[in-house]
Amino acid sequence: MGVDVQLKGVMKRYPNGIEAVRGVDLTFPKGQVAVVLGPSGAGKSTLLRMVNGLETATSGTIQVGDLVVHSNNHRAVRKTVGMVFQQFNLVPRLSVMANVLCGRLAHRSWVTSIFFTFPESDFALAREALKQVGLEDRAWDRLEKLSGGQQQRVAIARVLVQQAKVILADEPVASLDPETSIEVLKLLVSSARSREATLILNLHQVDLAMQFADRIVGIRKGQVLFDGKPSDWTDTTYAQVYQ
């Protein structure tokens, strides 16, 4: 079951003075598939990274369900919030299974984290997740043997075993060919919908946003310029966001 994500007056200013995000107020209802569109440097990645604590907001509040995100509760946040990255953020020398099991680390003790030991229940979750992404027969292969599209499927399986209520995906298909991109996005959206997880995607491709989003948020220079249904996105909107 998903949870709401709320951002109130969120700003991110870096030490060099650059304001990546400027006074953003957004609410993503549980179970929604939202796509954040904008040019490079618009603040899309910073926005997502603040939701799971990889970046700290300079001001404002971010709330995931009943949990307010701050620097002292990142472990608790990452039990609820999963993330799929553009460059996969997997470990090539480890097996597919080991990479997927990393999604359980936030749920386990520090002893598990150090010695990388998991109960059978975690292996069962991992096997089921790999089945869902169509890679159950590759569980014990080294990750580096897989194609880019397959590695992104492993990253999705890692989020599934995390049992995340919120899934963030930062340009998850930027390094994939068009056909594989559609396959991965279909899998990501269907996985989120099957468990009613809230899904927030950063994308560059407007056509993919139109195909998969319930809602589009257009940002430029850290500010929200559009927030509405895909059907409300127009050529004028495109010019404002990507001018």
Give the model's confidence band at 226: pLDDT under 50 very low, under 70 low, under 90 confident, else very high.
very high
Give the model's confidence band at 12: pLDDT under 50 very low, under 70 low, under 90 confident, else very high.
very high
Higher pLDDT, 76 or 147: 147
195: Cα within 13 Å, side-chain hemisphere: 21
pLDDT at res. 144:
95
Question: Total structural domains in the chain?
Answer: 1
* 169/82 Cα distance (integer angstroms): 9
Q: Is pLDDT at 32 greater than 90 in this prediction? A: yes
CATH number of the domain bearing residue 131 = 3.40.50.300
Give the model's confidence band at 30: pLDDT under 50 very low, under 70 low, under 90 confident, else very high.
very high
* 168/159 Cα distance (integer angstroms): 10
Domain that holds residue 200: 5-242
